[in-house]
Amino acid sequence: MQDRILAVEEKLAQSKRVVVLTGAGISAESGVPTFRGEGGLWRQFRATDLATPESFARDPKLVWEFYNWRRELLAPLRPNAAHLALVELEKQVPHFTLITQNIDGLHQKAGSRNIIELHGNIWWLRCTQCGRLGEDRTVPLPALPRCAACNGLLRPHVVWFGEMLDAAVIEKAYGEIQTCDLMLVIGTSGTVQPAASMGMHAKGAGAMVVEINLEPTPYTDSFHISLTGKAGDIVPLLT
């Protein structure tokens, strides 16, 4: 392990452009449940009942109950050592981009600055009628929150299954991935596209790709270096 850490440190010192991709695993040590694996949200709930545009159209109260519950769970949680180490890395690298699949807002809470949120943010609400977007940290929100401008029904500003990711967000992410020298892929199972294949894109474009995860993923053998363990233990070793 020590030799692999050294190799990543060396590459980090030489890199002008670094991309980090994070998934639910980086927030696990803060107390955020992951989606898959033991204790995973999608083991407890059916995503198709709660995180699709169809389920929201059918039963918005139920979907809001789920999101209000998640907001309540997330509100008191704090960034962990891995989130904080990425804030330090951002200061050390000339051009640093953090691409996250997480909607929990913990990277912002930690102090990371250049963040691309692929799946939105649970603390932002979007009007289903006028499209107005705004941050609202009220916990809990009313059973059916309404837009202050047009009284339309608000929804969480997150990407649901079956929905397209924001094209501008994706374009920005690929721009960074294609030009980076090093990419760290932290705490993601590599099962949801397009994030799952972003590491392979970076590799194809010539970057060194390093995975940090508790366990192997479908991409472990394809990346250059795999660091196995908790993100909160490993990421701080790289700063």
CB of 41 to ligand OAD, least distance (A): 8
Residues in contact with ligand OAD, shown as a per-residue x/- string from 15 to 34 under the rule CB under 6 A: --------xxx--xx----x
CB of 87 to ligand OAD, least distance (A): 17
Q: Which of 96, 188, 198, 227 binds ligand OAD (CB under 6 A)?
A: 188
Q: What is the 3-state secondary structure (H, E, C) of 89-158?
A: HHHHCCEEEEEECCCCCHHHHHCCCCEEECCEEEEEEEECCCCCEEECCCCCCCCCCECCCCCCEEEEEE
Cα distance between residue 91 and residue 87, in whole Å: 7
Catalytic residue among 83, 107, 119, 157: 119
Residues in contact with ligand OAD, shown as a per-residue x/- string from 101 to 130 under the rule CB under 6 A: x-----------------x-----------
In the bound state, the residue with its beta carbon closest to ligand OAD is 25
**Comparison of 66 and 174: residue with beta carbon closer to ligand OAD:** 66
Binding flag, residue 138, ligand OAD (CB under 6 A):
no
Q: Which of 5, 7, 17, 36 binds ligand OAD (CB under 6 A)?
A: 36
Our answer to whether residue 224 is catalytic in this structure is: no
**Peptide bond just before 145 cis, omega within 30 deg:** no
Cα distance between residue 99 and residue 8, in whole Å: 19
Cα distance between residue 39 and residue 42, in whole Å: 9
CB of 7 to ligand OAD, least distance (A): 19
Taken as a whole, the chain contains a residue count of 239
Residues in the interface with ligand OAD (CB under 6 A) total: 25
Question: Both ends of the chain: CA-CA distance in Å?
Answer: 16
Q: Which amino acids are annotated catalytic?
A: 119
Binding site for ligand OAD (CB under 6 A): 23-25, 28-29, 34-37, 40, 51, 101, 119, 159, 187-189, 191-192, 213-215, 217, 230-231
